[in-house]
Amino acid sequence: MATEQVKIEFDPKGMPFRRLGSSGLRVPVFSLGGWLTLGGTVVGDPEIIKVAYENGINMFDTAETYAKGKSEIEMGRVIKELGLRRTDLIISTKIFWGPRDGPNDKGLSRKHIIEGTRESLARLQLDYVDILFAHRYDVTVPMEEVVRAFSWVIDQGWAYYWATSEWSARDLEEAIQIADKLGLHKPVAEQCQHNMFHRERPEKEYAPTHLALAWVAKNPNTSTVILGASRPEQVVDNLQALAVIPKLTPEILAEVEEILGNRPEGYPTYGRPALDAYGRDPIF
């Protein structure tokens, strides 16, 4: 790989970092996603990524399907143009819906996982991504084939970790069990849609967007919250949520839960006493 021409040194600017799932990888509480923006409504403008990077965001998320591959192209181009050091970055992309419509250009067959990853790296102009996500669960492919393919990609050095997106807990557990049984790399995290569906302002002094982002980030199961932005100003504005996170006391969180009224119900007990709150999750 050619010598990097580093133009901007990374400064976390006080950004909190957390472990990504079960891995040792540290990711910022807020990261930037390319869905609906990079390669689509935003082309040729490096400012959004630049402003995010200068404000402590060093994780950027995209997918092979975003803007039919143009999101990856735009992200890779901007990283090169800005002169960001690769080791300072956490780049993730997702495999499932390829930009073409051939019979093996979608899904999680070994063929598409390997060839789709190779094409994503070419579009990003990178030798590897830090995290490769299975964008959806593929009911048509044996789970062992999926796990073996992602593990092979990691062994080639094309990705450091693999993870899932919008998988059920049972599907994720099956993948982990197969990986453990066969001594393969297992998924380290799950990327899912998570927001508060804000209905009214529990705390009127906070802008709703800041509260919503802080509420998701406050969840102990959240590693990073992927932001979307079409303007640099949106990135800066969203990061004001960092100041809200420590203000979300248990009392305020309880008020939010009462207002939302949509807390997921627990697992059915069928009349039996509840399990010990400190025991392992019954679904696993």
Q: What is the set of active-site residues?
A: 66
Buried b (16+ CB within 10 A) or exposed e, 71-87: bbbbbbbbbeebebeee
Strands 190-191 and 17-19: unpaired
Q: Which residues contact 74 (CB under 8 A, 6 or more apart)?
A: 34, 38, 39, 42, 43, 67
Q: Report how far residue 74's alpha carbon sits from residue 123's, in angstroms, rounded to the nearest whole number.
A: 8
Q: Report how far residue 55's alpha carbon sits from residue 67's, in angstroms, rounded to the nearest whole number.
A: 26
Element (H, E) at 72: helix 70-82
Q: Report how far residue 213's alpha carbon sits from residue 211's, in angstroms, rounded to the nearest whole number.
A: 6
Burial (Cβ within 10 Å: 0-12, 13-18, ≥19) of residue 144: middle
Q: What is the DSSP letter of 42?
A: B
**Residues 171/141, Cβ–Cβ less than 8 Å:** no
Residue 165: both structure tokens together: 């997106």
